[in-house]
Amino acid sequence: MSEVAGPGHSPARVLLIEQDPRTAMLIGEMLRAGWTQSLIISHASRVTEASQELRDHGATCVLLDISDDADSLNALEHLAAANPSVPIIVLSSRAGEEFGLTAVKAGAQDFLRTAELNPGALARSISYALERKRSEVELAHQALHDPLTELPNRALFSDRLSVALDRARRTGAPVAVLFLDVDSFKYINDSHGHQAGDQLLTVLAERFREMLRPMDTVARFGGDEFTFLFEELESEREAILIADRISQSARQPVILGSDEGETTVQVSIGISIVTDPSVTPDSVIRDADVAMYRAKELGGDRFELYDETARVRASRRLDLENALRRAVDHSELRVHYQPRVSLSGETGLIGFEALVRWEHPDRGLIPAEEFVELAEDTGLIVPIGEWVLEQALGHIARWRQSRPGVTISVNLSARQLESPGLAAHLDAAVRAIGADPGVLCLEVTEDAVEHNPELAFRTLTALRAIGVKLALDDFGIGHSSIAGLRDLPLDSVNIDRSFVSTLGSDPEGAAVVGALVELGHALGLSVVAEGVETDEQLARVRDLGCDGAQGYLFSRPLPVDGVHALLGPT
Q: Determine if 531 is a binding residue for ligand C2E (CB under 6 A).
A: yes
Other C-beta atoms closer than 10 Å to the C-beta of 489 total: 12
Contact between residue 432 and residue 439 where contact means Cβ atoms under 8 Å apart: no
Q: Which residues contact 464 (CB under 8 A, 6 or more apart)?
A: 470, 489
Measured distance CA(520)–CA(527) in Å, rounded: 6
Residues 359-398, mask of contacts with Mg ion (x by CB under 5 A): ----------------------------------------
Measured distance CA(178)–CA(305) in Å, rounded: 9
Q: Determine if 224 is a binding residue for Mg ion (CB under 5 A).
A: no
Q: Which is nearer to ligand C2E, 273 or 380 (CB)?
A: 380
∠ CA 464-352-460 to the nearest 5 degrees? 15
Measured distance CA(238)–CA(275) in Å, rounded: 15
Total of residues contacting Mg ion (CB under 5 A): 6
- Give the footprint of ligand C2E on residues 278-317 (CB under 6 A): none
Min dist CB 551 to ligand C2E, Å, is 3
Min dist CB 554 to ligand C2E, Å, is 8
Residues 431-450, mask of contacts with ligand C2E (x by CB under 6 A): ------------x-------
Q: Determine if 547 is a binding residue for Mg ion (CB under 5 A).
A: no
**Which of 117, 533, 559, 567 is in the footprint of ligand C2E by CB under 6 A?**
533
CA quadruple 544, 546, 550, 554: dihedral positive or negative? positive
From 551, 550, 546, 552, select the one nearest 510 (Cα to Cα).
546
Residues 9-28, mask of contacts with ligand C2E (x by CB under 6 A): --------------------
Q: Which is nearer to ligand C2E, 242 or 381 (CB)?
A: 381
Give the three-class secondary structure for 14.
strand
Min dist CB 451 to ligand C2E, Å, is 13
Min dist CB 387 to ligand C2E, Å, is 9
Min dist CB 520 to Mg ion, Å, is 14
- Give the footprint of ligand C2E on residues 546-565 (CB under 6 A): 550-552, 557
DSSP track, 366-431: EEGGGTHHHHHHHTTHHHHHHHHHHHHHHHHHHHTTT-TT-EEEEE--HHHHT-TTHHHHHHHHHH
Min dist CB 301 to Mg ion, Å, is 41
Other C-beta atoms closer than 10 Å to the C-beta of 414 total: 18
Contact between residue 99 and residue 111 where contact means Cβ atoms under 8 Å apart: yes
Share in percent of the chain as helix, strand, coil (round to 5) = 50, 20, 30
Q: Which is nearer to ligand C2E, 183 or 474 (CB)?
A: 474
Q: Determine if 388 is a binding residue for ligand C2E (CB under 6 A).
A: yes
From 366, 279, 276, 370, select the one nearest 317 (Cα to Cα).
370
Q: Determine if 473 is a binding residue for ligand C2E (CB under 6 A).
A: yes
Residue 403 corresponds to which amino acid? R
Q: Which stretch binds Mg ion (CB under 5 A): 314-322, 460-468, 477-485, 493-501?
A: 493-501
**Which of 227, 391, 411, 492 is in the footprint of Mg ion by CB under 5 A?**
411
Give the three-class secondary structure for 130.
helix
From 106, 104, 20, 31, select the one nearest 69 (Cα to Cα).
20
Tell how many helices (H) and how many strands (E) occur in the chain. Answer: 22, 22
Q: Determine if 473 is a binding residue for Mg ion (CB under 5 A).
A: yes
Partner whose binding site includes residue 423, from Mg ion, ligand C2E, none (CB under 5 to 8 Å by kind): none
DSSP 8-state symbol, 95: -
Q: Determine if 367 is a binding residue for ligand C2E (CB under 6 A).
A: yes
CA 473 to chain CA centroid, Å, is: 36
Partner whose binding site includes residue 231, from ligand C2E, Mg ion, none (CB under 5 to 8 Å by kind): none
Partner whose binding site includes residue 60, from ligand C2E, Mg ion, none (CB under 5 to 8 Å by kind): none
DSSP 8-state symbol, 152: B
Q: Which is nearer to ligand C2E, 183 or 473 (CB)?
A: 473
Q: Where on the chain is the footprint of Mg ion (CB under 5 A)?
A: 411, 443, 473-474, 494, 530
Interface with ligand C2E (CB under 6 A) = 338, 355-356, 367-369, 372, 381, 385, 388, 411-413, 443, 473-474, 497, 530-531, 533, 550-552, 557
